[in-house]
Amino acid sequence: MEPDKEIDCIGLFCPEPIFRTRTAIDELEKGQILKVTADDPAAEEDLKRLAKRLGHEVLEITHDGDEVTIIIRK
């Protein structure tokens, strides 16, 4: 699954990962895929809630130590 856009939110804390993810999603066309990498402990739940609220689909969530990668389809 190749993302159409990737954003790196490592080192950023709430609410910055949400703002950046929202901006990136707004730039995508319907059906395109966004990959977000973050290390904020709240990022996973916050980004899942954001995707659901906006009507987008979380395709995959992976963890690597403190980092979480979330794949969202607009």
Cα torsion 18, 23, 24, 25 to 10°: value is: 90
Confidence of residue 1 (pLDDT cuts 50, 70, 90): confident
- Domain ranges across the chain: 5-73
Q: Convert the pLDDT of each residue in 7-19 to its tens digit.
A: 999 999 989 999 9
pLDDT tens, position by position, 38-64: 999 999 999 999 999 999 999 999 999
Active site residues: 14
Cβ contacts of 12 within 8 Å, gap of 6 or more = 20, 38, 40
Which fold would CATH assign to domain 5-73?
Translation Initiation Factor IF3 (3.30.110)
pTM of the predicted protein model? 0.94
Tell me which DSSP letter residue 33 carries. E
CA-wise closest residue to 42 among 20, 12, 1: 12
State the pLDDT confidence band at 36, using cuts at 50, 70 and 90: very high
